[in-house]
Structure 1
């Protein structure tokens, strides 16, 4: 089975690599993604077989009507427990304005992928805008007796209730909460700070997964929220101080920080720096610098921008450009 991830970046998110945020989290927590949105499908997929994210070049062969746009899209192949190969088309729609051609475009993606690969396809559309009336879940065509109706799974973020999202243990519940809060706080830094603190603390309180899952959940969510809900430097410092005063924040410092992905979220960066200030040896620091470069290379290979990679791994833009040139 394969998953095709289509992400469109809206102008209103400014410097935030919104495409990259969703792409990265779905890539890292793919099983949880399917479990949250289509649990019945999750039961059929054999997750012991690692999902295969197909290359950008392959997707461009199929989706050729977005030339000139920044494409963070992928097709991901997975297999069912009965051994059959299936394909899933996952379309993440993040443009801020209503698109009257969205459903038609979804159908076009569907038939191009089906025509090229001849595989069964499950389509999932995630709509993140704030309109309650915009619900593009069906494409219908009719002309003199010839008609076609294409429907697909459409999930509207405004449909999810805050209370239910807060109770869920799935990381994508928190991701949707963060997206809702981002829409509510575009021009209110103080309110965004309070929401960000609330989400950070919620993540740490829910950190009861097995250690490997815990590291991935925490790193992915903190990274996602940190860059989706950006706040001024002074509020970021205040957030750090507030979190570190909580029981969960103090425990976070000791949650196997050696194995957490470096600099993927503000808190992890803080914990790492505090550890260095307490006297880590130069050899360890050198090793961590090399690890940052390794993480940067991986992020570049995933198609993320040089600027975002530099910010995430605390390397200069020139250093990241050099890594890109050597790839």
Structure 2
């Protein structure tokens, strides 16, 4: 009981060693104690690096068979997720959700831009043969709207030179 009441990190180290000895022939009990000692690290309010250092010791002295280690890892992950969620307010959760949605929209827009760029370059290569790296560079990074305009132009022009007149200047390509 005295060790369990102590806030001293070495109390956890001693408890880990004692419980490792006590549970050497009972893997299930060892898993339970390993989880209890690991939870204790979080509950004591130690800094992240201290938790990691102490956990490495606990993990070393309280080795578990692979099946129990997997169950322990799942339980620990669940516990850590619960801890993290306690610190996330509903406003933060809303912000996280909104950020995900914005990321999805941005990804879709980027995908549209890349596809329009790929299609324009393919169209130009089919119509006029291999394009110079300069022309390819001037096409890259243009907005979807500009790329769509250039596709219409590419269908109507007779030569690459005529198309180049419709491309933004190299420094204004973005």
Asked if TM exceeds 0.5, the reply is no
Q: Considering only CA atoms, is the larger Rg found in Structure 1 or Structure 2? A: 2
TM-score by length of 1: 0.25
TM-score by length of 2: 0.45
Please identify which structure carries the higher helix content.
2
Please identify which structure carries the higher strand content.
1
